[in-house]
Chains A and B, each alone.
Chain A
Amino acid sequence: MGDAVASVGRQGTDFALIGHQESWRAAAEVIAVLRGPERTPLPDDEIKDILPWIPPRTICHVEVASITGANARGLYIDSFIPPDRLDPDYLHENIARVRSAATYAIKAGAKIVSLGGFSSILLEGNFDQLPERHETVFTTGNTLTVGFIVQGIQRMCALEGRSIRRSTLLIVGATGDVGSGCARCLAPVVKRVLLAARNLERLRRFKAELKADGVQVEIATNLQQFSEEADIVICAASLAAPSLLLSRIATDAIVCDAGYPKNLSPTAEMPGAKIFFGGLGQITGGLRFAPDFRGILNRHPFPNVVHGCLLEGMALALEGRFEPFSRGRGFITPQRVEEIEAIAARHGIYLAPLYNAEGPVEDELHCQTEWSRG
Chain B
Amino acid sequence: MEPVVSLKRPPIECTSLSPNAPIWQDVLAQAMTGELIAAMNYTSLSEICDDPEEVADALEHAEGEQGHAAAFAAEGRKMGVDVAHNVEALHWKRLREAFLRCIRERDFIGCLIVQEIMLESFAVASYSRVGKVAPGSLGKTFAAIAAEEEEHVAHAMAILREERARNPQRFDAKVYGLHLEVMTTLAKMLAKECKDGHCEVCHESCVKPSLAEVSLSAAELRGASLQQYMRTLDMLGIPGEVTLVWVTQLPV
Question: Which residues of A are at the interface with B, using a C-beta cutoff of 8 A?
Answer: 1-3, 5-6, 9, 31, 34-36, 39, 42-43, 46, 49-50, 52-55, 57-60, 104
Contacts and interface: CB of A to CB of B under 8 A. Distances in A.
A114 B226 CA distance: 28
Contacts, number: 67
Contacts of A9: 239, 241
B231 A55 contact: yes
B226 to A, nearest CB: 6
Nearest to B234: A55
Contacts of B172: 1
A58 B241 contact: yes
Given A42-B252, A46-B252, A58 B240 contact: yes
A54 B247 CA distance: 9
Contacts of A34: 244-245, 248-249
Contact of A49 (B173, B192, B227, B245): B192
A35 B248 contact: yes
20 contacts: A1-B173, A2-B245, A3-B169, A34-B244, A34-B245, A35-B249, A43-B252, A49-B223, A50-B252, A52-B223, A53-B224, A53-B227, A55-B230, A55-B231, A55-B234, A55-B240, A57-B241, A58-B239, A58-B244, A104-B240
A162 to B, nearest CB: 47
Nearest to A42: B252
Contacts of B243: 57
B219 interface: yes
Contacts of A5: 241-242
Interface in B210-252: 219, 222-224, 226-227, 230-231, 234, 239-245, 247-249, 252
A7 to B, nearest CB: 11
A339 to B, nearest CB: 34
A5 B223 CA distance: 26
Given A34-B244, A54-B244, A54-B247, 8 more contacts: A1-B173, A2-B239, A3-B169, A9-B241, A39-B249, A57-B230, A57-B241, A58-B240
Contacts of A3: 169
Nearest to A3: B169
Contacts of A54: 227, 230, 244, 247
Contacts of A2: 239, 241-242, 245
B252 A59 contact: no
Contacts of B241: 2, 5-6, 9, 57-60
Interface in B191-218: 192
A355 to B, nearest CB: 30
Nearest to A31: B248
A50 B249 contact: no
A60 B239 CA distance: 12
Contacts of B244: 34, 54, 57-59
Nearest to A9: B239
B223 A53 contact: yes
Interface in B73-98: none
Contacts of A55: 227, 230-231, 234, 240
A36 B247 CA distance: 12
B242 A1 contact: yes
Contacts of A31: 248
Contacts of A53: 223-224, 226-227
Most chain B CB inside 10 Å of its own CB: which residue of A2, A3, A52, A60: A2
Contacts of A52: 223
